Amino acid sequence: MSTCQTPCNAFCLAAEVHGICFAVPNSLLFLGRPGVGKTTVIREMARVLSDELHKRVVIVDTSNEIGGDGDVPHPAIGGARRMQVPDPSQQHRVMVSTGLLYTLSTCSTLPH
């Protein structure tokens, strides 16, 4: 298990995210107190994977915290797509339909 602290500026964050994207092949769990930067790192990872590494990234978000709420996706996720989950009990349905619609490189979920 690897541990990293969230950098305090955008340049360091981008460098850290590149390292995480290449070092972690399967899954990654973020734990921490509110306000330490978990959401910021996940958004940056989605942006780096989609915009810089040209991967297909879809964010399945039950709380709309990562991908943004409303018609316009959060600008920090870059070209990553998002699938909003209307009700937490429907997350499995949205994830299955996402897998059928896209050939994914990465799928990020944030449980409610």
CA–CA separation, 109 vs 96, rounded Å? 12
Domain presence at residue 4: no
CA–CA separation, 21 vs 16, rounded Å? 9
What pLDDT digit, counting tens, does each position of 20-79 carry? 766 666 677 778 888 888 888 889 888 888 898 888 888 888 888 888 888 888 999 999
DSSP H/E element including 108: strand 106-110
- For tokens 């969230």, the residue is 6
Domain presence at residue 2: no
| Helices (H), ranges, 9-90 | 10-23, 38-47
Domain presence at residue 59: yes
- Put simply, whether the predicted model's pTM sits higher than 0.75 gets the answer no
Tally of domains within the chain = 1
Domain presence at residue 5: no
